[in-house]
Amino acid sequence: MVKSPLILGIETSCDETGVAVYSSDKGVIANALFSQIAIHKEFGGVIPELASRHQLEKIVPVTNEALSKAGCTLEDIDTIAVTNRPGLPGSLLVGLCFAKSLAWTKKKNIIGVDHLEGHAFSSFLESTPPFPHLCLTASGGHTSIHIVYGFGEFETIAQTRDDAAGEAFDKIAKLLEVGYPGGPIIESMSRAVDFVDRFAYPRGKQTMLDFSFSGLKTAVLYDLIKHDAYNMQTRQFLKKEDILFQQQVASSLLVCVADIFEQKLRLAMAKYPHVKAITFVGGVACNKYIKERLRAMCNNAGLEFFSPSPAYCTDNGAMIAFVGAYKAKQGLFDSFDLDIVF
């Protein structure tokens, strides 16, 4: 039997350095990651200049870690797949320049991968969703719905007109002064009050397929001011002692975002009634509450539901290697002119 090629996947589009070794017959052989969360925590968000500097520091050790976990060397690798779009320019450049240098010196094929295509196919690392399906991607930088017809064949049918869903969690967690990244903190605060929806924040236009989260952020801010919980002049949260209030804000936000996701997916399902499944990917798909809401919706609609494990929801090299593997099969290699697109 002909062995399928070994792909090295490199992801450096934002604040995670992810490198994986993958082959179509063995799946993910090694997946190494360095996350900069601890570095950006004190700023309450990603600082691009810091992100690229740390990418530069980590790209070699994380690659060595992936190769040694896989028990192979660069000589064994057939193709290098690297995220070249979209993302922070400085961070993308680190991964791309590194990948190009390896490919040039070791005479390997190179393939540039769209970060969103990586997320869109991340469910395939652990399962086999049927085509066609709808894919909801929700992360710190993106919120979109794709209709996926096959490997590399997909159309964007909805995207955010302003903020991403993860960004809404991060920004509101910053308003509440509860830490960074906001998503997991908001989730555990919501669980403590059993996902109550005390404040019923606005869900937005019921008929629009596109997302918009900046209005929700403003609505939460005005509601905090109305409850004497936020001072616009000093930009300070005033109810730090009132844990229950904070939990209820967090929980109302989470329920609202889950309702918006459900509402948009229902619109998409009505527009594309032939889809067989829904996949939920990206950092926000780590959220168990939203996952279970969407799973229940799919069960009721007779659709299959897929969502990756947390390690493959957030940014990682494995999803980039997976896309690289099917592009290699399709002969879609790039030249050394490959550049970043941001």
Q: Which residues are at the interface with Zn ion (CB under 5 A)?
A: 139, 315
Q: Given the complex with ligand KG4, which of 113 and 286 has the nearer CB atom?
A: 286
Total chain residues near ligand KG4 (CB under 6 A): 19
Contact call for residue 287 and ligand KG4 (CB under 6 A): yes
The rounded distance, in Å, linking the Cα atoms of 121 and 119 is 5
Q: Which is nearer to Zn ion, 315 or 334 (CB)?
A: 315
Through-space distance between the first and last CA atoms of the chain, rounded to whole angstroms: 41
Look at residues 37, 33, 35, 58 and name the one whose alpha carbon lies nearest to residue 46: 37
Evaluate whether 310 touches 56 at the Cβ level (below 8 Å). Answer: no
316 φ/ψ sector (left φ>0, alpha ψ -120 to 50, else beta): beta
Q: How far is the CB of 307 from ligand KG4 (least distance, A)?
A: 12
Radius of gyration of the chain (CA): 21
The answer to whether residues 221 and 175 touch, using CB atoms and an 8 Å cutoff, is yes
Q: Report the SS3 class of residue 157.
A: strand
Per CB under 6 A, the segment of 52-60, 128-136, 163-171, 209-217 that binds ligand KG4 is 163-171
Residue nearer to ligand KG4 on the CB measure, 91 or 109: 91
> Which stretches within the chain are classed as H helix?
37-40, 48-70, 89-106, 115-120, 165-175, 182-192, 214-226, 243-271, 288-301, 310-313, 317-329
Among 166, 204, 317, 324, binds ligand KG4 (CB under 6 A): 166
Residue 250 beta carbon to Zn ion: minimum distance, rounded to whole angstroms: 23
Q: Which is nearer to Zn ion, 219 or 311 (CB)?
A: 311
Binding mask 182-221 for ligand KG4 (x = CB under 6 A): xxx--x----------------------------------
Residues of span 243-282 touching ligand KG4 by CB under 6 A: 282
CB of 25 to ligand KG4, least distance (A): 27
- Cβ atoms of 212 and 268 closer than 8 Å: no
Report the interface residues with ligand KG4, using CB under 6 A: 14, 139-141, 166, 169-170, 181-184, 187, 282-284, 286-287, 314-315
